[in-house]
């Protein structure tokens, strides 16, 4: 009987230990679910995206934000590379340079319209979105923003760029460039849609810079500048 009682006591203590071990694991599980007293993944990802928007996108709105940033600088479209080369050959390098500058000036103007659209997309992020982003690749958050905002951003950027062309004199510069080029004997006449081209290049530049910030936060612990970022991306480190 004593042996039976001892075995029962050992079994009971063992069961208690297992239960305690399970309870000890609950905070770790709850830390993955917002609202259970642990780390709020969605809030952490929103903070990371807001940091990317603040740190990187805002830089693009400054004078030379595009023009002097080699990572996103807008060059002449492929169909106008011959235009650029030809203008330079006939001593019109300054005109070609001015043409490129005004494209970038228009992009810098347009990106000022981006922040409210990004804020809305970040605000509407679901927990499922956040979890997939956290466990995704180095550009998963950027891809989420790209999928969520590209259509709205294009709609905002395009008219701003069109108006900006007039404001910075791009329409006059480019009319001059195209007219000059089209008068050169034996060249194929060109008439590109520069508003569409510049809009798409501005979009590409915005997402490229957000991706830079996202990659930094994911891979560089010192870039996690708040307790929430540190907690959330520590979970990513162990995925």
3-40 pLDDT, tens digit each: 333 333 232 323 233 323 322 332 332 334 343 334 57
Tokens at residue 163, please?
Answer: 């108006």
Give the global pTM. Answer: 0.74
Question: Contact, 59 vs 133, CB < 8 A?
Answer: no
Percent share of the chain, pLDDT over 90: 27
Question: pLDDT digit string (tens) for 41-55?
Answer: 888 888 888 888 888
Written as six digits, the tokens of 3 are: 């042996």
104-126 pLDDT, tens digit per residue, is 999 999 998 888 898 888 888 88
Q: Which pLDDT belongs to residue 38?
A: 47
How much is the pLDDT for 165? 86
* HEC sequence for 148-214: HHHHHHHHHHHHHHHHHHHHCCHHHHHHHHHHHHHCCCCCCCCCCCHHHHHHHHHHHHHHHHHHHHH
Structural tokens at position 61: 């709105």
Q: Which pLDDT band, with edges at 50, 70 and 90, does 238 fall under?
A: low
- Per the model's pLDDT, the better-predicted residue between 4 and 135 turns out to be 135
Using DSSP's 3-state secondary structure scheme, residue 238 falls into coil
Average pLDDT, the chain: 78
In tens, the pLDDT along 144-197 reads: 999 999 999 999 999 999 898 888 777 788 888 888 878 888 777 776 788 888
Q: Give the CA count within 13 Å in the CB-facing half-sphere of 155.
A: 5
Give me the mean pLDDT over the 73-84 stretch: 83
């Amino acid at each position: 009987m004593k042996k039976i009682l001892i075995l029962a006591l050992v079994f009971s203590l063992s069961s208690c230990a297992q239960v305690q071990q399970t309870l000890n694991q609950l905070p770790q599980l709850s830390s993955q679910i917002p609202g259970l007293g642990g780390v709020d993944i969605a809030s952490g990802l929103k903070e990371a995206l807001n940091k990317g928007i603040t740190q990187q996108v805002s830089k693009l709105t400054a004078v030379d934000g595009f023009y002097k940033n080699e990572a996103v600088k807008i060059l002449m479209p492929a169909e106008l590379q011959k235009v650029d080369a030809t203008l330079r050959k006939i001593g019109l390098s300054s005109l070609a340079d001015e043409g490129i500058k005004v494209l970038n000036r228009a992009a810098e103007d347009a990106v000022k319209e981006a922040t409210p659209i990004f804020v809305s997309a970040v605000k509407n992020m679901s927990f499922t979105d956040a979890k997939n982003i956290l466990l995704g690749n180095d550009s998963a958050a950027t891809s989420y923003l790209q999928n969520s905002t590209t259509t709205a951003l294009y709609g905002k950027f395009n008219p701003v760029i069109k108006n900006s062309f007039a404001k910075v004199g791009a329409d006059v510069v480019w009319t001059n460039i195209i007219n000059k080029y089209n008068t050169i004997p034996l060249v194929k006449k060109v008439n590109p849609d520069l508003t569409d081209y510049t809009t798409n290049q501005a979009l590409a530049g915005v997402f490229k810079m957000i991706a830079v910030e996202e990659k930094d936060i994911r891979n560089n612990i010192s870039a996690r500048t708040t307790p929430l970022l540190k907690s959330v991306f520590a979970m990513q480190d162990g995925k």
